[in-house]
Structure 1
Amino acid sequence: MMSSSSSSSTTEAAAGRRRHTHAAYGGSSSSWRRWAVLVATVWIQAVTGTNFDFSAYSSALKSALGVSQEALNYLATASDLGKVLGWSSGLALLYLPLPAVLLLSAAFGLAAYALQYAIILNLLQLPYPLVFLICLVAGCSICWFNTVCFVLCIRNFSSSNHPLALSLSISFNGLSAAFYTLFANALSPFSPSVYLLLNAIVPLVVSVVALPAILLCHPHDGHLHNMPKHDKHVFLGLYILAFITGIYLLIFGSYTTTNSAAWVVLTGAMVLLALPLIIPASSSCSHVDMHSPDHALPLNHDDPQKPLLLNNDHQRESNVMIQKSVEQQMQGCCSGAILEKGCMMVLGEEHSAKKLIQCIDFWLYYTAYFCGATVGLVYSNNLGQIAQSFHRQSQLNMLLAIYSSCSFFGRLLSALPDFLHRKVSFARTGWLAVALVPMPAAFFLMWKLHDINTLVAGTALISLSSGFIFAAAVSITSELFGPNSIGVNHNILITNIPLGSLLYGQIAALVYDANGLKMSVLDRNGMIDTMVVCMGAKCYSTTFFVWGCITLLGLVSSIILFLRTKTAYAAVAGQSSCKHLSQVSS
């Protein structure tokens, strides 16, 4: 009997070890797949910010079309107007598989930029309204790419990690212009049309390359093998690599080099883009034996390994703590009429489009974005004329490099709340308000002082602030209005970008034209063209003041949003603390 019992125990132990090993390797496989998906979204984002290189071929497009500067500016705005149709990508995801939406995005971009390429080479002549529509489709394709990447990050990472994944992926979108400049320098540095050819082909090629990782991923890979400490270490490594990539492009991307040197620099950039695959691969191999979740940290609300029922004492303790937290926050939060009405109490509740536009918090959020990050985007569109009016045309490349790099680093900094959330308990909407503080300060500073140092500092602050908001906004939209509805809801939010582009751009144009002088110049075809040129601080001084007031309104709106939503964030933080206590005690 004892021998039989011993044999049975040995057999069960062996079977347990086999299950243990299988789970470890299976978890490692699923972990590798989701990291591969993240790298795929980084690659896609790195080449789909095609609207950022418009200035590289705008003069050639203007000459080919034979239009005025004002008409050319409307074409630049058309790309932003394409974001008005960005919500269609969310609808497409309801009826089509995600890989199909990705390929459709690439097809839209291919068609739009290929037609513009043919126009510049005088292979095709189209009326201006049709060219405007083509630019709009190009902008829409960018939104579709963004939506695909957002959904991939949310599906493949747990709720505690997908903000980190989103911030990392979105950050690389700001480097698209730098990557395309490297490609152009290597292929044909003196041909503006090469940018349009690259805009058409590269996103399609990268989408096809990224497709296998997307097809092999499982929607719940992020939950099958959840190791918070391990994941944070991998994310930290990826962010360090991203920082190095940004520094590399800032240093080498701004230099005019020979063709051979350009290929070397481009190869280095491609290697840096491929390196993120190594960190999760090596990390997964070294953590094969880590088969269970890290119990030192609370499990995510969407983790299938989370116990369905807690101990009754723990459950009661959890409810009491959450209730007390909510009551205390309500006393401090909803103290006025604006803060009381419809004060958000729960994060992650799904909002349909109809429910979204009826939500006070959404319009506060919309105003904060509209009067914040969008102003920073319009500032970048006017940076060329700003430098010219300040007699700093020769330093334009330096200003553009500062804006691009600071915007990229601002996007990376948007992940700071997720790295510090254990030490600093602060609502993400609060971080949004903090990020908006530098923007009005920068505009008012440039309104008062008109030297190059102020212009450089102001540009850095504005780009840092707007970059942070661009990246953080996706996570905020997911948390406030539901992760499953983000495909539609976030695209509704960014309809403010084309509206702001038109409004704020028109403000700048009116002030510029009112203080400028008409001049006759020869275009590339030898035709006489009339344009307004303004020189001096007066060209943008009033604009800076108006933009400063607008961003101040955005700051106020973000503060109100923070006060209205901090209760919901505090409740989630309290719930996580209760889970942590229950796991430690068990």
Structure 2
Amino acid sequence: MPPLPSSSSALQWLSLVGIVWLQSINGTNSNFPAYSSQLKNLLSISQLQLNNLAFASDTGKLLGWVSGIAAVYLPLWLVLLIGSTLGLVGYGLQYLFLINSISNLSYAHIFFLNILAGNSICWINTVSYLVSIRNFPLERQVAVGVTTSYLGLSAKIYTDIVNLIFPSSPKKRAKGYLLLSAILPLLVCGITAPMVRYLDVGKGKTKKMRGAFIVMFGITIGTGVYAVLGSLGPISIWFSPLARVIGMGLLLLSPLLIVAGEKIASKLGLDREERVYIEEENTVVEKIENEEESINELRVREEIGVKLMLRRVEFWLYFFVYLFGVTLGLVFLNNLGQIAESRRCEGTSSLVSLSSSFGFFGRLLPSLTDYFFSRSKHMISRPACVAALMVPTAGAFFLLLNPTNRSLYISTAIIGVCTGAITSMSVSITTELFGTKNFGVNHNIVVANIPIGSFLFGYLAAFVYHNQANSAGQCIGVLCYQNTFILWGSLCLLGTLLAFLLHIRTRKFYTP
């Protein structure tokens, strides 16, 4: 699909606003821990079977490459429609089953529906990445990072809406999550489809663009602060459920102020100065681009295909670093509902909101450092950053051996921040180590460890839980997950060592 001509940067920013809205509702799988305990009771399944449903959602990502191929041949609005429809079917049929509108859904059917629902996320993500990269060619890392951070906010948004509609009924809350996960992405995709499109924006990088990004950072940070305040126990009581939803809605609408500002500037003729500025800086921009190309040549001397990548030591170091870092963090968050239940912590939804809010800041952090400090001589390599982030993650797992609810909240926040930050950096690490030409296939192979780790680590946690459970299949006490936390913390420390080795082997890629 050829890009549409853009007469002003207003359309450019409007597309970014559309992506922000898409990402805000696209983390439907992150809602699972908020209603997993209720779902377990409603379906009358064991802890092992419940873990398999979380694994099924992650398995859907193995087919994420299909959406990438579809985006090459289909219009973006159709890719969005396909993705949201898959979610509608995956979550919608489960909802209809729980309210007894349909019958004869076996456990195998529900397992498949979770695979379908997990895959739906990939389609919306694909559109978001492609539009961010195409419409902000010189700021693509920042645009992708900022918009992706809103994906970490999804669980908070869904939880606030469910708390408003179903404040006191656990069974209705579980059904509410499934209903919202089915219809909200479809609704938002319909609203944003005209906004999210390719634009012919050229290569102008202006002061005005930099100023707009600073405003966007301010809005994003303000949204994150509001989300965190609404998730902390002692402070959250100041916010009623209705106030939380209205406040978050206004913050998600606030990026439209940038669009309005761009339109006003265009009408007043202020964009003429911008065009002159572009002409004067064209030579400078070209020099910067040439410099960046030479740096990239140092970092990636050849475009690496799958076969060659799999023979590289760097790949396997990176693979296991991701497995013992991001994947372990995601497995912890998937089991957050049962972990809270075993410790008799009744604030599962607030824990999910907390992990979502801090994960939001974690995803945003690499974009902030890239934007403001990318030319600093004191910047360290991304593998070194990953190693630094995995140390507090390991500490958080060991902190969970403390039986207090305070330790659970602190650990959840730390794991949310660190997992989000490493996830955000992983896109850049893949391109820097293995090139951009085969990025779609290469990165999908790297993140294939998510379903693998989800099954191995999640199954182990469920097995230990099951052995400690009573006759009703419920386990109460610190012992339910004690050995699991020791193992996860030890593996995370091993991942820290591997990340440091990756840093040593790849230092030349990060030295211009």
The reply to whether TM is greater than 0.5 is yes
Decide whether aligned partners of structure 1 residues 471 and 184 sit closer, same or farther in structure 2, where only a CA change above 3 A counts.
Answer: same
Secondary structure class of the residue paired with 1:533:
coil
Q: Is the contact made by 1:112 and 1:200 (CA closer than 8 Å) also made in structure 2?
A: yes
Secondary structure class of the residue paired with 1:231:
helix
1:511 pairs with one of 455, 464, 475: 464
Q: Does 2:183 correspond to 1:201?
A: yes
Q: Is the contact made by 1:30 and 1:225 (CA closer than 8 Å) also made in structure 2?
A: no
Q: Does 2:422 correspond to 1:476?
A: no
Distance between the aligned counterparts of 1:301 and 1:86, measured in 2?
37
Larger Rg: 1
Q: Does 2:232 correspond to 1:248?
A: no
Q: Does 2:383 correspond to 1:429?
A: yes
1:100: which partner in 2?
Answer: 78
How big is the shift at 1:71?
1.8
Percent identical pairs in the alignment equals: 38
1:141: which partner in 2?
Answer: 120
How big is the shift at 1:350?
4.1
1:443 pairs with one of 355, 379, 397: 397
Decide whether aligned partners of structure 1 residues 297 and 121 sit closer, same or farther in structure 2, where only a CA change above 3 A counts.
Answer: farther
**What's the CA shift string for 1:94-118, capped at 9, x where partnerless?**
3333332222111111111111111
Query: Which structure 2 residues correspond to residues 83-122 of structure 1 after superposition, within 5 A?
Result: 83-122=61-100
How big is the shift at 1:378?
1.2
1:154 pairs with one of 120, 130, 133: 133
How big is the shift at 1:428?
2.9
Task: Structure 2: state its 5+ residue gaps.
Answer: none
2:475: which partner in 1?
Answer: 533
1:19: which partner in 2?
Answer: none
1:404: which partner in 2?
Answer: 356
Q: Is the contact made by 2:40 and 2:47 (CA closer than 8 Å) also made in structure 1?
A: yes
How big is the shift at 1:361?
2.6
Secondary structure class of the residue paired with 1:224:
coil
Secondary structure class of the residue paired with 2:473:
strand
Distance between the aligned counterparts of 1:263 and 1:445, measured in 2?
34
Decide whether aligned partners of structure 1 residues 483 and 283 sit closer, same or farther in structure 2, where only a CA change above 3 A counts.
Answer: farther
Q: Is the contact made by 1:30 and 1:224 (CA closer than 8 Å) also made in structure 2?
A: no
Decide whether aligned partners of structure 1 residues 265 and 518 sit closer, same or farther in structure 2, where only a CA change above 3 A counts.
Answer: closer
Distance between the aligned counterparts of 2:179 and 2:286, measured in 1?
44
1:212 pairs with one of 194, 197, 203: 194
Distance between the aligned counterparts of 1:89 and 1:302, measured in 2?
33
1:282: which partner in 2?
Answer: 261
Give the letter aligned to residue 24 of structure 2: A
How big is the shift at 1:473?
1.5
2:53 pairs with one of 75, 88, 110: 75
Q: Is the contact made by 1:79 and 1:136 (CA closer than 8 Å) also made in structure 2?
A: yes
Secondary structure class of the residue paired with 1:214:
coil
Distance between the aligned counterparts of 2:181 and 2:227, measured in 1?
19
Q: Does 2:253 correspond to 1:299?
A: no
Distance between the aligned counterparts of 2:303 and 2:433, measured in 1?
8
How big is the shift at 1:535?
1.3
Q: Is the contact made by 2:96 and 2:102 (CA closer than 8 Å) also made in structure 1?
A: yes
Decide whether aligned partners of structure 1 residues 107 and 301 sit closer, same or farther in structure 2, where only a CA change above 3 A counts.
Answer: farther
How big is the shift at 1:487?
3.3
How big is the shift at 1:569?
2.6
Distance between the aligned counterparts of 1:204 and 1:253, measured in 2?
27
Question: What's the RMSD between the two structures over aligned residues?
Answer: 3.3
2:322: which partner in 1?
Answer: 369
Distance between the aligned counterparts of 2:236 and 2:80, measured in 1?
35
Decide whether aligned partners of structure 1 residues 28 and 108 sit closer, same or farther in structure 2, where only a CA change above 3 A counts.
Answer: closer
1:556: which partner in 2?
Answer: 497
How big is the shift at 1:135?
0.7
Give the letter aligned to residue 518 of structure 1: N
Distance between the aligned counterparts of 1:297 and 1:545, measured in 2?
56
Secondary structure class of the residue paired with 1:246:
helix
Secondary structure class of the residue paired with 2:114:
helix
Count of aligned pairs: 492
How big is the shift at 1:139?
0.2
Distance between the aligned counterparts of 1:501 and 1:297, measured in 2?
50
Distance between the aligned counterparts of 2:403 and 2:165, measured in 1?
39
How big is the shift at 1:453?
4.2
Distance between the aligned counterparts of 1:441 and 1:406, measured in 2?
17
Distance between the aligned counterparts of 2:466 and 2:166, measured in 1?
36
Q: Is the contact made by 2:396 and 2:411 (CA closer than 8 Å) also made in structure 1?
A: yes
Decide whether aligned partners of structure 1 residues 118 and 59 sit closer, same or farther in structure 2, where only a CA change above 3 A counts.
Answer: farther
Q: Does 2:334 correspond to 1:378?
A: no
Give the letter aligned to residue 478 of structure 1: T
Secondary structure class of the residue paired with 2:194:
helix
Decide whether aligned partners of structure 1 residues 350 and 102 sit closer, same or farther in structure 2, where only a CA change above 3 A counts.
Answer: farther
TM-score by length of 1: 0.75
**What's the CA shift string for 1:198-250, capped at 9, x where partnerless?**
211111111121111223x32x52x43222x4333322221221222223233
Decide whether aligned partners of structure 1 residues 28 and 99 sit closer, same or farther in structure 2, where only a CA change above 3 A counts.
Answer: closer
Q: Is the contact made by 1:87 and 1:489 (CA closer than 8 Å) also made in structure 2?
A: no
Decide whether aligned partners of structure 1 residues 488 and 153 sit closer, same or farther in structure 2, where only a CA change above 3 A counts.
Answer: farther
Distance between the aligned counterparts of 1:467 and 1:158, measured in 2?
24
Give the letter aligned to residue 464 of structure 2: V
Distance between the aligned counterparts of 2:253 and 2:505, measured in 1?
42
Distance between the aligned counterparts of 1:276 and 1:184, measured in 2?
25
Decide whether aligned partners of structure 1 residues 117 and 385 sit closer, same or farther in structure 2, where only a CA change above 3 A counts.
Answer: closer
**What's the CA shift string for 1:170-219, capped at 9, x where partnerless?**
1111111221223334445442323222211111111121111223x32x
TM-score by length of 2: 0.85
How big is the shift at 1:384?
3.2
2:443: which partner in 1?
Answer: 490
Q: Is the contact made by 1:64 and 1:122 (CA closer than 8 Å) also made in structure 2?
A: no
Task: Structure 1: state its 5+ residue gaps.
Answer: 1-25, 307-317, 327-343, 520-529, 572-586
Give the letter aligned to residue 364 of structure 2: L
Q: Is the contact made by 1:91 and 1:488 (CA closer than 8 Å) also made in structure 2?
A: no
Query: Which structure 2 residues correspond to residues 33-48 of structure 1 after superposition, within 5 A?
Result: 33-48=11-26
Q: Does 2:368 correspond to 1:416?
A: yes
Secondary structure class of the residue paired with 2:45:
coil
